[in-house]
Structure 1
Amino acid sequence: MEDQADTVQLSSYNEDLQHKTILVGDSSVGKTSLLVQFDQGKFIPGSFTSTVGIGFTNKVVTVDGLKVKLQIWDTAGQERFRSVTHAYYRDAQALLLLYDITSKTSFDNIRAWLTEVHEFAHKDVVIMLLGNKCDITSGRVVRTEDGESLAKDYGIPFMETSAKTGVNVELAFMAIAKELKQRSSSPDDRKFQIYEYIESQKKKSSCCGFL
């Protein structure tokens, strides 16, 4: 696979182009499925066993001709693992915060997750809100507009994703990668705007929402 070839070259990477991204949110919102869809391009039917503690995957993506290595950490959503998750916030460059559009509770808990993020993560961390499982239209209980409104309250980008169909999964990670690459290469010249990038990709999506 291409990933294997990329892995051989990692020793020559500029450290600034290696970034730590963390997936956070309640248990069962689809964090592991989202990561597998992005990393392997597939959805594994059936429920994953709840992540115990934390695990990670390395994924190399090409951004504007440069290879960017994303070290993506999949965290446990259960309360008993929360202290473990906190320790990983501190050196994260990006956080993808997920809720399940079929679970009002997971959406209601987003504000609490954001409070933790703002307490433990670096002040310049890139945060994106994702409403996952947008393929389950009949079971939706959280409107797209609700996700948009919450994201606007916190000034963070938002989109809906489907780990099952792959809708917006790659876009979410690529938007993060582009933002991090821009910060590393030209921290004082912010030509790339994550909101504008997401907006420009709307037409390539067949469903789900954006901010």
Structure 2
Amino acid sequence: MDPNKTLLEIQKQNHFVFKRLFDQVYGDLVHYANGYLFDREASEDIVQEVFIHIWEKANSIEIKSSLKAYLYAMVRNRCLNFLKSLKITDQCNVLEINTVLINDYDLEPFPEEDKKIVYEQVLRIVDTLPYKMQLIFKMKFIENYKYTEIADELGISVNTVKTQLKRAKFKIGQMISTILILLASQY
């Protein structure tokens, strides 16, 4: 169905057309949102909120591009608002990771709340690393272990510790770059 006709049918409260639109794009929108949030449940919630908004406000929606582009823009904006609303607790002084990991990125032009978003996402990214890599990373940057101490405690070589940390830093760096691009696009 033509996207313009889809919106017209939704404005007429056509449940069948709305459900079909939902079924067609829900999974892609959740995947898109998860690229911002790294949290599947929060991504699903945001996409559902977007669909609720579409259903409830269909008569006042004016789309200048395409319905699909409109949905993606709504999801992106709600994700960024969600990220800005996060309150960060730093019980382990994880924000000190900034001096080790984020020195490669110039965060000075960003407001404090955007820096907090980056830090929160670093914490989430760390939680998605493979278990052993996550453990090594936390031992090094949170508990301030030395390479040899980590190697001894985990029964691995110092080279393995360094390799795991290098891989972790690379993965985190990729995600931080994406987040910074998204934040910069808001200014």
TM-score bin (small chain): under 0.3
Structure with greater proportional helix content = 2
Larger Rg: 2
Structure with greater proportional strand content = 1
Q: Which has the higher contact order (CA 8 A, sep 6+)?
A: 1
User: If the length of structure 2 is used for normalisation, what is the TM-score?
Assistant: 0.27
User: If the length of structure 1 is used for normalisation, what is the TM-score?
Assistant: 0.25
